[in-house]
Structure 1
Amino acid sequence: MRKRDFLTPIGITFGFIMIMLAILTKGGTEGVNSFLDIASIFVVIGGVIGSLLINFKVEQIKLTNKVLKEAFRQNNQRLPALITLFISLSERARREGILALENEIDDVEDPFIKKGILLAIDGVEPEVIQDIMSAELTAMEERHYRGRMIIEKCGEYAPAWGMIGTLVGLVLMLNSLEDPATLGPNMAVALLTTLYGTILANLVFLPMASKLEIKTEEEVFLKQIIIEGVIGVQSGQNPRILEEKLGAFLSGDMMKEQEKEKAAKFAEESFHEA
């Protein structure tokens, strides 16, 4: 089960708290009431939803909830552990043959890795394996992009609908010019829709879309390493050469983490041998 990414809700909550503190500092509790307007909320939220219904198909809109959840989850796959796995698979394949990896498949949770290893076991040529896995990687990028695009569009539409709400409020305000006492309050209400739209766009939708894009880039990076690992195992590369090849993707901190994992694995194997 994937871990939750607590930075997303913490960031959104922190942003709203800072805005509330700024309002309370200058206007107190009465100032907070000045920034609440149900009609403005209806204009922004309703406008964004309406635009999404026009812009996207029903199937895409249904994915919104799933896409939003991804912004609140972490990728559990760690690069050093991934490289250690492929070194282990390579060692066994060279020692016992590629067919011996059938016994290792059940312990592999990642379906992408499992698919690649099964293709290798079936004797598929390395070029064909790379083509198949690269095509799946491209399809994944496209799915992620389409899902992320809904959130990006929300970030585009929210400020626009905020401005529309402001224009509506200004029209209503101009219609009551004969009563100067209402001009200030009406102007404040008119500007609230722009405020709501801007906050939603820059504190919620656009940051979440950027985070989803970063997550996609990280997943693509990992899957490219997986493809290299599968090809190395299938072609019978020397485990040490494969380790050096995949280790090129590691940062300094990740290399230290891998060394710790290798030391722990060596200690465990020594214990079992004893």
Structure 2
Amino acid sequence: MDISSVVGLVLAFGLILASIMMGSAPFSAFIDIPSGLVVIGGAIAATMMCFPLKIMLGSPMAMMKVFLNKPQNPGSLIETLVSLAETARRDGLLALEGRVEEIDNTFIKMGVQMAVDGTQPDVIEAIMRTEMESINGRHKDNKAVLDQLGRFAPAYGMIGTLMGLIMMLSDMSDPSGIGAGMAVALITTLYGAIVSNVMFMPWAEKLNILNKQELTSLEIVIRGILSIQSGENPRVIQQKLETFLPPKARASKEGA
């Protein structure tokens, strides 16, 4: 569970609700189902026209990663790679075949298996970087869906407001109802701003951060596997890979 995402979402909606409660207007004045349908339904429909159906169907799972992500710890990756390097240095590269089953990370497992099979270093790097680019592409597609939802929601909020104003101005026989009609017309703009700035846009940025973290982890693995295959000293490999860690994290590992 990503605590910052949960706390941020609850805090954002909580502040909005608290502000409504402190105001003079009743809470029911901020509830309008047709306005919600225009904003949410319209944004989803417009986004569906931008992307293939396969990407749209996969976007809900990507949204869940905002709250249920489990980022890879670069420090543990480095420890695993250094341990593999020590085995290869001591017993030879073929000895890594006996450790393949104990490796949980599928990307490391793929690289180790290719190294054990005697695959050329440039081929290993090409395959692993292609896999890395494929993962990055899928993540960018998911972020793009949220970006478009964030852009379309305010636009459909404005469309709903214009629709409400047209319906209100088409019947001016009762001036006392103009104020209430104007309030209902503005609700769609409010809904569009809320779902865009509280949900879709922040979620897109969180997916972008998670993608950067995963790409860093994949880069660590690629460089580690290539270093192991070339027979570099495990201590040198550790120092090389720890350059991806923040200075404080490196200091804590050295002091451990």
Normalising TM by the smaller chain, what interval? Answer: over 0.9
Q: Does 1:14 align with 2:37?
A: no
User: For residues 218 and 257 of structure 1, what CA distance do their matches in structure 2 show?
Assistant: 20
Is contact 1:225–1:246 with CA below 8 Å preserved after alignment?
yes
Q: Deviations over 1:39-63 (max 9, x none)?
A: 1111111212221332222211110
SS of the counterpart of 2:69? coil
Is contact 1:12–1:204 with CA below 8 Å preserved after alignment?
yes
SS of the counterpart of 2:231? coil
Give the equivalent residue in structure 2 for 1:268. Answer: none
Alignment map for 1:228-247 (pairs within 5 Å): 228-247=223-242
Alignment map for 1:17-28 (pairs within 5 Å): 17-27=14-24
Is contact 1:80–1:257 with CA below 8 Å preserved after alignment?
no
Give the equivalent residue in structure 2 for 1:177. Answer: 172
SS of the counterpart of 1:71? helix
Aligned residue pairs total 256
Alignment map for 1:23-34 (pairs within 5 Å): 23-27=20-24, 31-34=26-29
Give the equivalent residue in structure 2 for 1:49. Answer: 44
Q: Which segments of 5 or more consecutive residues in structure 1 lack a partner in the other structure?
A: 264-274
Aligned CA RMSD, in angstroms, stands at: 1.3
SS of the counterpart of 1:229? helix
Give the equivalent residue in structure 1 for 2:56. Answer: 61
| Equivalent in 205, 208, 211 of residue 210 of structure 1 | 205
Shift, 1:76, TM fit: 4.0
| Equivalent in 101, 109, 123 of residue 118 of structure 2 | 123
Is contact 1:79–1:254 with CA below 8 Å preserved after alignment?
no
Q: 2:171 corresponds to which letter in structure 1? A: S
Q: Could you tell which deviates more after superposition, 208-217 or 63-72?
A: 63-72
User: For residues 174 and 22 of structure 2, what CA distance do their matches in structure 1 show?
Assistant: 31
SS of the counterpart of 2:136? helix
Give the equivalent residue in structure 2 for 1:134. Answer: 129
Q: 1:195 corresponds to which letter in structure 2? A: L
TM-score by length of 1: 0.90
User: For residues 214 and 77 of structure 1, what CA distance do their matches in structure 2 show?
Assistant: 13
Q: 1:145 corresponds to which letter in structure 2? A: K
Q: Deviations over 1:194-224 (max 9, x none)?
A: 0000100000000000100111011111101
SS of the counterpart of 2:67? coil
Q: Percent identity, aligned pairs only?
A: 38
| Equivalent in 149, 158, 176 of residue 154 of structure 1 | 149
TM-score by length of 2: 0.96
Is contact 2:71–2:213 with CA below 8 Å preserved after alignment?
no
Give the equivalent residue in structure 2 for 1:144. Answer: 139
Q: Which runs of 4+ in 1 moved over 3 A?
A: none
